[in-house]
Amino acid sequence: MELAEAFISFICLVSLIVILLEARRSGGLQRPLPVALWALSLVLLAMFALLRVLVNLDAWSDARILMGILGVGNFLFGSALLVRWLAWTTRNRRGGGERSG
């Protein structure tokens, strides 16, 4: 069971990275609101996963607790990627441009 949770979490993170790379290559997602909602939903999922780990702390094995915490970290990392992408696109729209050198 621990492996399944880690695998699902890993697939979610990899798909998020691929989507962001493709969006950046093709000119980006045009509307920031869906991306902000996506980031917020990932933070909520991380909070739910952390709550689930804390509730089952006594019943779960150490490996399952570690996999649960890894899932929380993946959700938070994915959310941070989305927030970074939002900040990057907002700065470029306002004429900040990309850093050189």
Q: What is the pLDDT of residue 50?
A: 92
- Is the confidence at residue 1, as pLDDT, over 70? no
CA distances from 87 to 41, 49, 53, 71, 80 (A): 18, 26, 31, 24, 10
pLDDT digits (tens, 9 = 90+) for 33-61: 888 888 898 899 889 889 999 999 999 88
Q: Is residue 101 part of a domain?
A: no
Q: Is residue 13 part of a domain?
A: yes
Domain of 10, in residue numbers: 2-93
Rounded-to-integer distance, Cα 83 and Cα 77, Å: 10
Q: Is residue 73 part of a domain?
A: yes
Q: Is residue 100 part of a domain?
A: no
Q: Is residue 99 part of a domain?
A: no
Q: Is residue 64 part of a domain?
A: yes
Name the region of 38 (left: φ>0; alpha: ψ -120 to 50; beta: rest).
Answer: alpha
Q: Which residue has the tokens 């739910």?
A: 48
Q: Averaged over 11-32, what is the pLDDT?
A: 75
Q: Is residue 98 part of a domain?
A: no
State the chain's maximal CA–CA distance in angstroms: 53
Q: What is the pLDDT of residue 12?
A: 75
Q: Is residue 71 part of a domain?
A: yes
Q: Which of 38, 65, 70 is nearest to 52 (CA)?
A: 65
Backbone phi, psi, residue 29, to 5°: -75, 140
- Is the confidence at residue 67, as pLDDT, over 90? no
pLDDT digits (tens, 9 = 90+) for 76-99: 988 898 898 888 877 777 765 555
The number of domains in the chain is 1
